[in-house]
Homo-oligomer: A and B are copies of this chain.
């Protein structure tokens, strides 16, 4: 028997990124239903809202159950147009702005698209700086300016250091360098010498040998690099080394990039520079 299906619309007057995230986190709580996602960003006029309603009602006609529509719409007129659609509509702003206005004793500004605004040049600069830093310090290519790093990730090749560094940069404006742990380090049973001065900034990444073997095989099939026994050996050596040196680590097999990044923010008590 196939799962029941629902079309879900994420409708926003901005990028829709917030409404997608919140809607997605709610829908993951319903495992027995298959959801088909449609994001409709930049719905900031009544005309665009009407066009969006046409798409929603199209989906309603073609589906067995009415569509679900999550919205973050600041403008009341635009919201009213969407709400009139033949669908189950939930607006996040409407539900929360009222109680917040009561709590703050002031009206909200009803301004569209404030949450991902480019107007804050300082934040943009933090982001760009952090991205440049991550790229300049990817995979141990440079040990210059390591004192400016907020965190230095270590781990075997392909354990998830680069995506984590870039995520920290883009999402939080955090400067993350990353350094590979290689067989020489295991032979010496020591962290790369250049990192000695920055022990307090080190955070490790590990990975299940099975997953590592898969990932490496995509890049260099049938090599020593991607050989399972070698992957197992490297992971074990890296974990021994990190344990010996008292470096905390997270496992990228069981934790997502978001979870690892958040753990790092928390462990090092870092404050985000970007919202």
Contact = CB atoms under 8 A, between A and B. Distances in A.
Interface of A: 6, 14-18, 21-22, 24-33, 37, 39, 41-42, 68, 72, 74, 88, 90, 92-93, 95-97, 99-100, 103-104, 106, 108-111, 113-118, 121, 124, 127-128, 131, 135, 138, 162-163, 166-167, 170-171, 211, 215, 252-259, 261-263, 265-266, 275
Contacts of A263: 42
A17 B21 contact: yes
Contacts of A215: 128
Given A17-B258, A100-B30, A266 B118 contact: no
Given A72-B25, A131-B163, A256 B32 contact: no
A115 B72 CA distance: 19
A178 to B, nearest CB: 13
Contact of A118 (B6, B110, B256): B256
Question: Of A27, A68, A99, A116, which is in contact with the most chain B CB atoms at under 10 Å from its CB?
Answer: A116
A3 to B, nearest CB: 11
A258 B215 CA distance: 29
A138 B106 CA distance: 47
Given A25-B72, A90-B96, A166-B170, 17 more contacts: A14-B25, A17-B21, A21-B21, A21-B115, A24-B275, A25-B115, A29-B111, A30-B109, A41-B262, A68-B103, A88-B99, A88-B103, A90-B100, A95-B95, A95-B96, A124-B256, A135-B135
